[in-house]
Structure 1
Amino acid sequence: MIQAQSIQPATWLFGARSLRDFGDGFMAILLPVYLLALGFSPLQVGIIATASLFGSALLTIIIGFLGAHHDLRRLLLAAAGLMVITGAVMPMINDYTLLLAVAFAGTINPSAGSVSIFVPLEHAVLAREVSSIDRTKMFARYSLAGALASAGGGLAAALPDLMVRLGIVQLSAIKLMFVLYAIVGVLGGLLYARIPPRPITHQADKPAVQGPSRNIILKLAALFSLDAFAGGFVVQSLLALWLFERFDLSLSEAAVFFFWTGVLSAFSFPIAAWLSKRIGLINTMVFTHIPSSIALALAAFAPSLPLAVGLLLIRAALSQMDVPTRSSYVMAVVTEAERASAASFTSVPRSLAAAASPALAGALFAASFRAWPLLICAGLKITYDLLLLLQFRHLKPPEER
């Protein structure tokens, strides 16, 4: 009976996460198409992406403070409400300044990944609903469900093309997808509402990055920020923009491409867990990441669409294998008392760093240096991998000693 009660909230959370990532999946692809259709430049698209990521980072910091003093279920419902408002308001405005404000304050996610105010709340709820023995397995399933849903959302980005064939203007069709995004927020809110409320516990001592692992946490935070800054040059919206401008890719073709990148990324999670048991966490992170960056750099010079797509699919199959291994490594090399602060201190700087680069990428696109965002991303990520290996190859988690 106890087990059934603990599984049920996680089930609602899985469903809500899948709905949210489905919405993020199609919005990340449609956002640059929508903004270009409104007459905005690639630079302005990049600024919108930066505003969105920076706003998400700021809201995540605020959520981190509120989470200790408010019921997590209520905060998740508030976040779902913000998602509904974002989807309802975006298609109603054409003014760039207002769009920028909505992108900053709303939930539009140009990276179609787990960079949003929902993530720390969902992690906290999920962690309290499972035993320590089942936590890793549950988080792996949680990530897999979200990645598959995001892939399905990428495929749904082709719906406006289908609507165009039915006689609906493309701009109107994309606006209807914003309405679908709002509906997804409503459905997600209904699932969050099924999670039972929990009484708030007030702790006298708040975790801080001041324990024996302080130097480790600071180094990891700095390195992870470099990785995130690099990734910001090729967030999903900007990668879609590159494909549209470089190869004149259609919306339907882009949807199919991002569906398969999502599927490959999703199934790389369990493979990464399997591989890390054989070669170690740091080696798994580095030696899968470097080939993915090389594939990205080669794609920048690909003379044809099939070759570029092939290289980007190789990248998708490898680039996310550091996600579960990175989280596992951080939790393994700090003391148990420092785990909460370590998770927060290494994630928030990542979000802020990722917010800085899309505008720079947009400026490069606007100046017709279309290959440079991909090359800068690849170069910085390889630098990050080599520094990570140099700094932490001797600091092994307990299971590898």
Structure 2
Amino acid sequence: MGVQPPPWLHPTICLFAARALRDFGDGFVAVLLPVYLLALGFSPLEVGIIATASLLGSALLTIAVGFLGPRFDHRQLLLAAASLMIATGVAFALVHDYALLLVVAFAGTINPSAGSVSVFVPIEHAALTRQVSDASRTKMFARYSLVGALASAVGALAAAIPDVITTVGLDQLTAIKLMFVLYGVVGLLGGLFYARIPRRPPVSEATAALGPSRAIVFRLAALFSLDAFAGGFVVQSLLALWLFERFDLSLSAASVFFFWSGMLSAFSFPVAAWLSRHIGLVNTMVFTHIPSSIALMLAALAPNLTVALALLLIRAALSQMDVPTRSSYVMAVVTEAERAAAASFTSVPRSLAASVSPALAGALFAASYKAWPFLICGALKITYDLLLLAQFRHIKPPEEQR
């Protein structure tokens, strides 16, 4: 028998730690990315195009991993993704040419949304599922999401570090470059945790395709894509850009705001689970989402910074409550054999849809229509919520049929 690893090196703990490190890096990069690109002399439109390129590249890479996953060990794929994160951080710190930055954003792991839309997520999900029983799976994924959200909030707070560094004589541009180097170091540390995951032979049999639930999954995928397209208008990097340009918010103040925003989002996950037990999964998704969208639209029209930040914090407390409930609902309304295929069919279209709208938002910013991305996002999300309620309020998961 081999030597058992200590409890703190259990594969689940290693995956949680790697997720926390990655989301910490994503948290500060999402805030710093627009500041960095503007400091290099690029326009808001070009910032939006960079965001679109990064999300589109992530979506296509996720599709590729979906095909490669059964042929390769999860550990190998995660180590390759961590290596890509290291290269991305170093490249962003060294490259100034816009065309090259566009290529790095497309091919790398830069995440302007500070959410889990990266290539790491489906691989980690598959690896984590092997570590727990069916009865413990939902609780494990809730903790996994909470760890990531808390780390992302701390990362947003770390976006103020360049302001601290400038007090010792370095200029802000150099300080932000050092943060991209830190992003690469975070990828290295994450890779060390991935290296502790035991090797497993790849799965030889094909993943079960969609069967009796095909129509439901396709309808959900279409609705989720509408929601993701709407959300792309206000990814975190573009929200930071709006705060910088509309209210001249400082980098330090923005980092504090995004920290508290992230904390509110993180602790909304367990609230969503509690609420769904009382009013149902679909109702939780819809009736928390609509108020958050209204708050976003009102923030776009806010007369001053205080009102805008208050409305955005209300949005943060509500807007992510559909994340665990959405995942749970998809898994509940399909057969067990279809779950892997359903997860893929509902997540990849979301990523592709979300990659289109940041460039459109950047164009609106450049044309001085700075409130319109918020208004479009809110209107589309409310449309999504009403369609979801109309089409799925009668399709209940097993636990709501008793």
TM-score using structure 1 length: 0.98
Moved more, 84-93 or 279-288: 84-93
Q: Is the 8 A contact 1:6 1:130 kept in 2?
A: no
Looking at structure 1, the residues matched to 37 and 208 of structure 2 have their Cα atoms a distance apart, in angstroms, of 42
Checking the alignment, whether the CA contact within 8 Å between 1:88 and 1:178 is kept in structure 2 is yes
Task: Provide closer, same or farther for how the CA distance between residues 251 and 6 of structure 1 changes in structure 2, counting only shifts above 3 A.
Answer: closer
- Of 4, 9, 12, which aligns to 1:10? 12
Tell me: CA distance 1:7–1:337, structure 2 relative to 1, closer, same or farther (3 Å): farther
Map of 1:347 onto structure 2: 347
Alignment of 1:329-368 (within 5 A): 329-368=329-368
1:53 equivalenced with 2:81 (yes/no): no
The match for 1:240 is 240
Percent identity, aligned pairs only, is: 75
Q: Match for residue 397 of structure 1?
A: 397
* Per-residue deviation, 1:5: 7.5
Instruction: State the SS of the aligned residue for 1:121.
Output: helix
Contact 2:162–2:172 (8 Å) recurs in 1: yes
Matches within 5 A, 1:143-162: 143-162=145-164
Count of aligned residue pairs for this structure pair: 399
How far apart, in 2, do the equivalents of 1:131 and 1:4 lie? Answer: 21
Q: Distance in 2 between matches of 1:231 and 1:320?
A: 11
CA apart distance, 1:201:
2.5
Structure 2 CA distance for aligned equivalents of residues 6 and 328 of structure 1: 28
- Paired position in structure 2 for 1:267: 267
Provide Cα deviations, 1:24-73, integer angstroms capped at 9, x if missing partner. 00000000000000000000000000000000000000011111110000
Deviation per CA, 1:287-307, whole angstroms, max 9, x where unpaired? 000000000000000011010
Change (3 A) 1:2 1:207: farther
Counterpart secondary structure, 1:342: helix
The answer for unaligned runs of 5 or more in structure 1 is none
Counterparts of 2:9 and 2:168, CA distance in 1:
44
Structure 2: which 5+ residue stretches go unaligned? Answer: none
- Cα distance, 1:319–1:169 mapped onto 2, change above 3 Å: same
Q: 2:199 matched to which residue of 1?
A: 197
Q: Cα gap change, 1:2/1:226 in structure 2, threshold over 3 Å: closer, same or farther?
A: farther
Deviation at 1:200, TM superposition (A): 1.7
The letter for the 2-side match of 1:135 is R
* CA distance 1:273–1:39, change in 2 (3 Å): same
Q: Residue 292 of structure 1 contacts residue 314 of structure 1 at CA under 8 Å; is this kept in 2?
A: yes
Deviation of residue 199 (structure 1)? Answer: 1.5
Q: CA deviation at 1:207?
A: 2.0
Residue 109 of structure 1: which of 111, 121, 129 is its match? 111
Q: Would the aligned equivalents of 2:75 and 2:195 in 1 still touch at CA under 8 Å?
A: yes
Counterpart in the other structure of 2:71: 69
Once superposed, what is the RMSD of the aligned Cα atoms? Answer: 1.4
**1:63-100 deviation per Cα after TM superposition (whole angstroms, max 9, x unaligned):** 11111110000100000000000001111111100000
CA deviation digits over 1:123-150, x for unaligned, max 9? 0011110011110000000000000000
Equivalent pair of 1:235/1:358 in contact (CA under 8 Å): yes
What SS class does the counterpart of residue 43 from structure 1 fall into? helix
Q: Partner of 2:376 in structure 1? A: 376
Normalised TM-score (structure 2): 0.98
Q: How many angstroms apart in 1 are the aligned matches of 2:396 and 2:91? A: 49
State the distance in 2 between where 1:200 and 1:351 align: 26
Aligned CA distance change for structure 1 residues 299 and 245 (closer, same or farther; 3 Å): same
8 Å Cα contact 1:31-1:110 kept in structure 2: yes
* C-alpha distance in structure 1 between counterparts of 2:255 and 2:122, whole Å: 28
1: CA distance, partners of 2:34 / 2:277: 40
CA 1:3–1:165 in structure 2 vs 1: closer, same or farther (change >3 Å)? Answer: closer
DSSP 3-state at the match of 2:202: coil
For the residues of structure 1 that align with 2:370 and 2:207, how far apart are their CA atoms? 46
Deviation at 1:7, TM superposition (A): 8.3
Amino acid at match of 2:209: A
Offset at residue 4 of structure 1 (A): 8.2
Q: Distance in 1 between matches of 2:332 and 2:188?
A: 37
d(CA) in 2 for partners of 1:138 and 1:20?
18
Q: Distance in 1 between matches of 2:221 and 2:91?
A: 35
Distance in 2 (alpha carbons) for counterparts of 1:34 and 1:70: 37
User: Matched residues in 2 for 1:320 and 1:356: separation?
Assistant: 21
Alignment-derived partner of residue 284 in structure 1 = 284
1:269-296 deviation line (CA, Å, top 9, x unaligned): 0000000000000000000000000000
Instruction: Measure the CA separation in 2 of the matches of 1:284 and 1:11.
Output: 30
Segment drifting more, 97-106 vs 163-172? 163-172
